Amino acid sequence: MPTLPNQAQPSLEGRYRGLKLRAGLAAATVHRRRLKHANFIGVTGSCGKTTTKELIAAALRSELRGRSSPRGRNDLALVGQTILRTTRRDSFCVVEVAAGRSPGIVARKAKVLRPNIAVVTTIGSDHYKTFRTLDATAAEKRALLVGAADGATAVLNADDPHVLAMAEGFRGRVITFGCSPAAMLRALDVRSPWPERLSFSLHCEGRVVPVRMRLCGKHWVTSALAALAVASVTGVTLERAVDALTGFEPLPGRMRPVLRDGVTFIQDDVKAPLWSLGAAFDFLAEAEAPRKIAVIGTISDYPGSSARTYVRTARRALEVADEVIFAGPLAGSALKADAEALRAFPTASEAAEYLRSSLREGDLVLIKGSGEADGLEQVVLAR
């Protein structure tokens, strides 16, 4: 019988990795069944998963012992590893459950995790190339609820119709959060005009509690409310949970302020899907600073041509910033917006070199890009 060419045959190393993964997930599944006393919490959505997961862990640790998946990784193997690290002394285990490059990844993770609490933040077009539509993206994320344990609780964003629709047909308890009047945990008077940080009034079960945080941008209210909702489900007192969130610092690359020689950089450069730019631009529009500058790297996950996308982005950025700088291989496309305050550089290092000589004390610089693909941290380091 003829054999496939060597390059088409699975390598021994690849087969070994596959066997190791399956063995690890099988062990995690068995271990998960033994830990009936702990609340396993899965967090999914198109954005804000990492910060939401960390906020949940911070809120719960104010009264409970538990585990959380490490930052920067959300692959299938990590779900199993985090479960296996959970012990009988832990009261909770919170895991970020991300989608992948093909449908069905969330379902595979949920099958192992079997969350007692399933959290969904929001639905956006982060995985446009894979799912194409918001409905398809929502279906992928909803798999976390489908794979939840018996008697589980769903914690859902009432401000996102795609998320709220997941309550239909869910057999467990549903807790909703958001700014919507129908939300069970509701935020009012949401503010975050830089240099102020995020603040809002929490309305919950007839109570009004002021919440003041270190996060930058009103959009983080979704993550904060999700964490407080999970705290309420697990029995953590509201006051302790709110206190825990008060001192939580922004995570690296997620609207994190960095002060260098009188210039403030807001680093939001983990990823830059097109639909997420609006929240960053809204932050810049409300910010108070002598001069506001937007530095934009590679934009991802958008339909249509890159030329039109970059031009539209440039025009929107020019509405909220005094100067707009694009960096990366497609940066030149933005110049068709034709504005004196608009510049483009093919690399982050060239943009950094320009800013090194042009920035002045008091400037507020928003950095929005796609992680290692852009290397926009050079802009901060160059100061």
What is the phi/psi pair of residue 343, to 5°? -135, 155
Q: Tell me the two tokens of residue 218.
A: 């009103």
Q: What is the DSSP string of 4-66?
A: --GGGSPPHHHHHHHHHHHHHHHHHHHHHHH-TTSEEEEEESSS-HHHHHHHHHHHHHTT--E
Query: What pLDDT score was predicted for residue 20?
Result: 72
Ranges of residues in the chain whose predicted pLDDT is under 70: 1-10, 12-14, 16, 18, 72, 128, 383
What is the distance between the alpha carbons of residues 58 and 68, in angstroms, rounded to a whole number? 10
Query: What pLDDT score was predicted for residue 47?
Result: 86
Query: What pLDDT score was predicted for residue 219?
Result: 97
pTM above 0.85, yes or no: yes
Query: What pLDDT score was predicted for residue 16?
Result: 58
Query: What pLDDT score was predicted for residue 260?
Result: 92
Residues 6+ apart with CB under 8 A from 165: 138
93 has which bridge partners? 40, 67
Nearest Cα to 113, choosing from 47, 11, 36, 42?
42
CB 224 within 8 A of CB 234: no
Q: Tell me the two tokens of residue 39.
A: 């609340």
Dihedral sign, Cα of residue 46, residue 48, residue 54, residue 57:
negative
Nearest Cα to 80, choosing from 20, 168, 142, 141?
20
237 has which bridge partners? none
What is the distance between the alpha carbons of residues 113 and 50, in angstroms, rounded to a whole number? 17
Query: What pLDDT score was predicted for residue 9?
Result: 54
CB 43 within 8 A of CB 95: yes
Q: How far is CA 176 from CA 18, 202, 230, in A?
A: 39, 13, 10
